[in-house]
Structure 1
């Protein structure tokens, strides 16, 4: 059932966004209620998502030094360099640039594993590396934003809710997920709990994007003129991420399944884990949230292309 839901998730999100936009336009007074409901739903989404990250098995990620080395180099050194180059092609709007930075600078921790499995990658290595990616990105994202946003970084940090949101919607769900995993591991009868929680991220994310669309109809309308431009940036990123994965897979001498896993790690970005940070910002920055949600949709279509391409090209180049 989980795989069936995940295979059709892009259509679920598109329908939810369309329904939210229609509700927001038809009933503008629904926006405050949608925003109020959004925060607890987002917290639950992040909690169940983090339960799918094997936080209690962090040391396992370092057993394959070549793979973890290639992943860390690509995700946290080379991809930020790629993103810095793509910034030259973006509009000058700081909110749009922030949205692109938030969503492209950090790797995915959820559907990365799903697409790795579907694309013939090494799901075991994908699962092992996700807690490393999650913890490193939490540490490095403020550094990246300071480097790329310049004087605007101070304004972002000054947002009234940013610290509270970071603690309550990222750190607390992360701690709760860790404790849940420890609890589930203590008795065999609890083993199915984590698996059942794994059914929830897609429906909850559908609800989140529905609520965002309802609450931010005006922000979506204001961002429409730049979304076509931003779409080109996101497609270019997907192409460059694919090429980077192929190159590093060869340089590090990875087997085909590990090389595919590397490509999916580089191509999938962390859209809804950074959503709380963008939502906590003031009204002039609301376009960042629209850009983040839009990137998630572009990425899902990109992953469909990856699923078709990788089995045809990775074996020839890295086997």
Structure 2
């Protein structure tokens, strides 16, 4: 399933869109299923983020520094350059910011490995990347939106979504890892749950897309306006990642991993935050999902292009 996950995700996105357009009345019912399936997906996702690797990532200082610089210095600069050209609608802008300012911590490891990137180093760095984006995201949003952030985001639902759908699954996942480190039964459970990652992602995409498509109405053209920005982001970050890898004098495998971590984003982890926004900003969730579609296709290209950008010496 991991080898064919691109095709699986594209099929899930297409199936969700078909259901949403064919049976729009099912949208409200499916929306009730989003939070449970997202919580399950994020639990399994965070289970792949090894807290035990935190010490190793801190010891690999040069790679970790490169990963932090590309994600939390270079990416915000690139987004800032694009921000001035984004459509003026609040929902579109907020959706783009939510998804582009948060680095991926799950399937980036698989895609990086397919292109010859160092999956081990990337895996070790994921706990730091996950914690860093949780801490930095509010500040980054404030830098872009200023006082407008308080007008468009209600703190209560936003914090509730963050706690219930991110903090709780993260804590449970890391407690499960502690159990697995001490008991054979725990290791068996973790191994079994690891195989659920791709099916859960597919189910989540079907439910999310099918529930959000009926909300589009005349908004489809508006969402389509941000798609070129996602494409430009992937193109720019390919070269920016190469530049960061060279700046830190990383080896080939590590350099390719840096290119991937700079380009892939955390769409499904920030989706609960987008869904917690007021109804007037409901389009932000669709904007986040649209990034997933662009990125999955982009990763197919990256797997072929990145080895040429960072060739074997």
TM-score of the two chains, using structure 1 as the length reference: 0.93
Residue equivalent to 2:55: 59
Tell me by how many angstroms 1:297 deviates: 1.3
Residues 75-117 of structure 1 show CA distances to partners (whole Å, capped at 9, x for unaligned) of 1111111101111221001111111111111110001111111
Structure 2 residue 76 is matched with structure 1 residue 80: yes
In 2, Cα distance between equivalents of 1:181 and 1:151: 40
* Correspondent of 2:147 among 148, 151, 154: 151
Q: Which runs of 5+ in 2 are unaligned?
A: none
3-state DSSP of counterpart to 1:92: coil
Give the TM-score taking structure 2 as reference length: 0.94
Aligned CA-pair RMSD: 1.7
In the TM superposition, 1:126-141 aligns within 5 A as 126-141=122-137
Q: Is the contact between residue 70 and residue 249 of structure 1 (CA under 8 Å) also seen in structure 2?
A: yes
Q: Unmatched 5+ residue regions in structure 1? A: none
| Runs of 4 or more above 4 Å deviation | none
Whether 1:253 aligns to 2:257 is no
Would you say 1:212 and 2:208 are equivalent positions? yes
183-192 vs 102-111, which deviates more?
183-192
Which of the residues 218, 233, 241 maps onto 2:237? 241
**Residue of structure 1 in register with 2:110 after alignment:** 114
The offset of 1:160, in angstroms, is 4.4
Cα distance in 1 between the residues matched to 2:189 and 2:6 = 26
Counterpart pick for 1:264 among 260, 263, 284: 260
Give the deviation of 1:224 after TM superposition: 1.7
* Further displaced range: 266-275 or 283-292: 283-292
Matched, 1:200 2:176: no
CA distance in structure 2 between the partners assigned to 1:87 and 1:192 by the alignment: 46
The Cα shift of 1:159 comes to 5.3
- For this pair of structures, how many residues does the alignment match? 313
Supply the distance in 2 between the matched residues of 1:17 and 1:145 (Cα, whole angstroms).
Answer: 28
Instruction: For residue 306 of structure 1, report the CA deviation from its aligned partner.
Output: 1.2
Q: 1:105 aligns with which of 101, 108, 113?
A: 101
Residue equivalent to 2:14: 18
